[in-house]
Structure formats: C-alpha cells, structure tokens
Amino acid sequence: MKRILIVTGQSGSGKSSALQVLEDLGYYCIDNLPLVLLPEIVEKLDKENNLEQLALGVDVRSTQADLQGFDHVFQLLQKQGEVDVIYLTTRDQELISRFSASRRPHPLSARFKSLNECIQAEKSLLLPIQLRATVHIDTSDKSVHDLKDILLSKLGQSDKLILILQSFGYKYGIPLDADFVFDVRHLPNPHWDLELRKFSGLDAPVKKFLEDSPQANDMYNDIYHFLNKWLPAFSEGHRHYITVSIGCTGGQHRSVYIVDRLKAALQSKWTIQVLHREMKHWS
C-alpha cells in the first residue's frame, strides 16, 4: 500500500465531496466503516487488489470508543503504508446555514437538543483524529471546484513543496487551514482614500500608495526573509505544502498587495498558488 488517506471532519464540511474528488483522482474510496475494522480491511484489499491509493471516510457515526481509540488504528495503518489524515472544518455559522438549507438532520441530533450543541459535541468527539491531521482544509467559503484544487495542492502532485499564499479579511474570520498568519492591519489603509477605495491591492494606484509606505516595505521584507529562510527547511522535511495567510481588515488592499508582492519575489524558486479569499466582496 503506497498511500492511505483518512478523510474526516465536521458533518456538513464536505467530506463526501472530498471523497468524490479523490475518487476522480484515482483513489479507491471507502466510507463510514467501523474504525476498528480499517486495518484488517486495508490489508485484505492490498493483498487482493494491490491498491496504490486508498481513501477512507471516517465520521462521527463511528462509536465513541472507536473514535477515542483512533491512535491505535492509526499506528496499525502506518505499518501498511504512508498515512495522511485530511480534516475538513467549517465555521459554526456556515455549518448551521448549510444544515438549515438542506434540512438534513445532524448525525448527533437524536442526542442533543440544538444544532449548535451537536456541532460542539462533534468537535470534541473528533478531536483524537483532528490531532493526527496532516492536512487541514477550511471549506467555509469554498466550492467543490475550490476543494479539488486545494486537495491537488495539499496532497502534493510532485516532490516539490507548494506555497499557497492567501489574502483574507479579518472581518470575515481567520482562515482555519493556515500554517502561518500575518496581520497587516497596522499598515496605512487605502480604504480611507476615496480615490483608492474602489481598487484592490492588484491595481497600480494601491501598489504605489503602499510602496511609498516605509511600514509596508518593512512588513513585506520581514515576511519575505522569513519565508526565504525557512521554506527550504520545510521542503527538506517532506512537506507537500505550506499555507501562508496575510490578513487586513477587508481583504481587498493591504493583504492582497503583500501576497502579490511575495508571489513575484518567490515564484522563481517555488511552485506558488494564490487565493484572494475575499475577492467576491471587492467593490
């Protein structure tokens, strides 16, 4: 067995969609088998089919005892191949909206009175698996197509590290899947200039405004030198990806500018993917 993926996360965060994406990528997918049976079934499948890529869906429908014993199952699976745990998460309010829209009951609805109680209990039950996660994906603002792109990036389709640069707005929440978060809200804000407000950090007027700021240049240089120094070490440690998120208030000007500038400086050395999370909110 060359690669085993355990796909889990909060109900409504996109586990089924992730498994469908992985199936399209050539993974043999199995969903919602009892955790304690996984090592035996994986061994049997490997002997009979010589599978190179297997994805196992796990969720809170497993018994509490099984979930608490996940570490033992994980160690047994590691004897059969390279194991990664993909944990999907979503902001609580977004999960509530999704369940309300679909009118589907939460898997824990028979045990708890409110949907919020179900969500909080599920987080606690899945914690042993989350602590083993090697890939975290926040699906709060992502479509199935976005999820596919992120899985391709984070699973690493080559041995070269992929650097994911993401701009975001703190007013919309901090990304849950970032490895590093840099706050640039202290920089001069083009939003307060009525002539600049309509532009983004990709546009020349905003770039000029921030390039003229010593603070913006200092912040960029500090982030650049940090990444330039440490990305080789992450790559040598067999990391497939690093997600670096840069945040300002609205995710339109300062964070976008810093991300764009970092991309230009680092793209000759690294494979880079850029995500401007709040683009849909830009004026």
For 111-162, write each residue's pLDDT tens digit. Answer: 988 999 999 999 999 999 999 998 899 999 888 888 887 887 777 655 567 8
Q: Which residues contact 151 (CB under 8 A, 6 or more apart)?
A: 18, 21, 22, 25, 86, 137
Mean pLDDT of all residues in 224-228: 97
H/E stretch holding 15 reads: helix 15-24
Residue 159: predicted pLDDT: 54
Mean pLDDT of all residues in 173-186: 94
pLDDT score of 43 more than 80: yes
pLDDT score of 26 more than 80: no
Confidence at 195, pLDDT banded by 50, 70, 90 = very high
Residue 48: predicted pLDDT: 66
Residue 113, φ and ψ in degrees, nearest 5 = -75, -40
Binding site, annotated residues for ATP: 9-16
Q: For residue 40, which of 86, 79, 8, 69 has the smallest C-alpha distance?
A: 79
Binding site, annotated residues for GTP: 59-62
SS3 202: coil
Residue 87: predicted pLDDT: 95
Average pLDDT score over the chain: 90
Residue 117: predicted pLDDT: 94
Q: Which amino acid is residue 140, in one-letter code?
A: S
Cα separation, 99 vs 67, in Å, equals: 23
Is-contact 175 183, C-beta < 8 A?
no
Residue 134: predicted pLDDT: 87
Residue 210: predicted pLDDT: 98
Binding site, annotated residues: 9-16, 59-62
Instruction: Take residue 202 and report the two structure tokens written for it.
Output: 């990709």
Residue 65: predicted pLDDT: 85
Mean pLDDT check: name the lowest of 59-73, 155-169, 207-221, 253-267.
155-169
Instruction: Take residue 24 and report the two structure tokens written for it.
Output: 């399209």
Cα separation, 133 vs 5, in Å, equals: 10
pLDDT score of 208 more than 80: yes
Cβ burial of 234 (10 Å; 0-12, 13-18, 19+) is middle
Cα–Cα distances (Å) from 126 to 87, 209, 255, in that order, read 10, 46, 33
Task: List the domain boundaries for the chain.
Answer: 3-155, 162-281
Instruction: Take residue 148 and report the two structure tokens written for it.
Output: 């596919």
Kindly report whether the global pTM for this prediction surpasses the value 0.85: no
SS3 167: strand
- Percent of the residues in the chain that have a pLDDT greater than 90, as a whole number: 60
Confidence at 50, pLDDT banded by 50, 70, 90 = low
Instruction: Take residue 84 and report the two structure tokens written for it.
Output: 């990664």
pLDDT score of 51 more than 60: yes
Is-contact 128 140, C-beta < 8 A?
no
Cα separation, 20 vs 31, in Å, equals: 11
Q: Which fold has domain 3-155?
A: Rossmann fold (3.40.50)
Q: Which amino acid is residue 274, in one-letter code?
A: V
Is-contact 87 135, C-beta < 8 A?
yes
Mean pLDDT of all residues in 215-227: 98
Residue 253: predicted pLDDT: 97
Confidence at 49, pLDDT banded by 50, 70, 90 = low
> What single DSSP character describes residue 273?
E
